[in-house]
Amino acid sequence: MSTGLYLDYLGIRMDAKKAEGMSFNINLITPDNGEKYAVEMSNGALTNIEGYTAEKPDLTITIDRADLDTVLMGQASFDEQIKNGKAKLKGDRKVYEQLKSTLVDFQLGFEMMPGTGAVKDAEPTAPFQAENPVLPE
């Protein structure tokens, strides 16, 4: 999964109701592959632009893409990467916690048509990790 696709995935997993009233800018920098992203939370939506950074971000996250891969694969949590010094936060850490608080895990049994039995989304166990889908039997 590319970094941009991962950020889009986080935007999809974000509960807009939980994000209501939140507004911040994050720069994401992956120095090992030279990528940089401006990530913005506003109007209940998380968006990103590749190749740019915000002039005055609320938070800058620096993590090697190789270390981000371990988060995506579930081998480490993003919080573990921060604790181990592999991910560095510069700025307002509250922004990171706010973003984390908006993420939900989707259930594959969502309601396609009225009356088909939606399953409530679960709170995330590892907020920034990409889950492997388990298809219902």
The reply to whether 125 falls in a domain is no
pLDDT confidence band for 133 (50 / 70 / 90) = low
Provide φ and ψ at 41, rounded to 5°. Answer: -110, 120
The reply to whether 31 falls in a domain is yes
Distant-in-sequence contacts of 121-124, Cβ < 8 A, 24+ apart: 121/15, 124/13
The reply to whether 28 falls in a domain is yes
Look at residue 54 and tell me whether its pLDDT is greater than 50.
yes
Residue 53 is predicted with a pLDDT of 96
For residues 69 and 137, the model is more confident at 69
For residues 60-64, average pLDDT: 97
The reply to whether 53 falls in a domain is yes
CATH of the domain at 8: 3.30.1050.10
Its domain, for residue 27, covers 3-102
pLDDT confidence band for 135 (50 / 70 / 90) = very low
Residue 51 is predicted with a pLDDT of 96
The two three-digit tokens of residue 31, written as one number: 């120095």
Structure letter (DSSP) for residue 116: S
For residues 64-68, average pLDDT: 95
Domain count, the chain: 1
The two three-digit tokens of residue 61, written as one number: 């996250």
Residue 96 is predicted with a pLDDT of 94
Q: pTM for the whole thing?
A: 0.77
The two three-digit tokens of residue 76, written as one number: 């480490």
pLDDT confidence band for 1 (50 / 70 / 90) = confident
Residue listed under structure tokens 């592999």: 86
The reply to whether 81 falls in a domain is yes
The reply to whether 76 falls in a domain is yes
For residues 24-39, average pLDDT: 97
Instruction: Say if CB 46 and CB 103 are below 8 A apart.
Output: no
The reply to whether 77 falls in a domain is yes
The reply to whether 129 falls in a domain is no
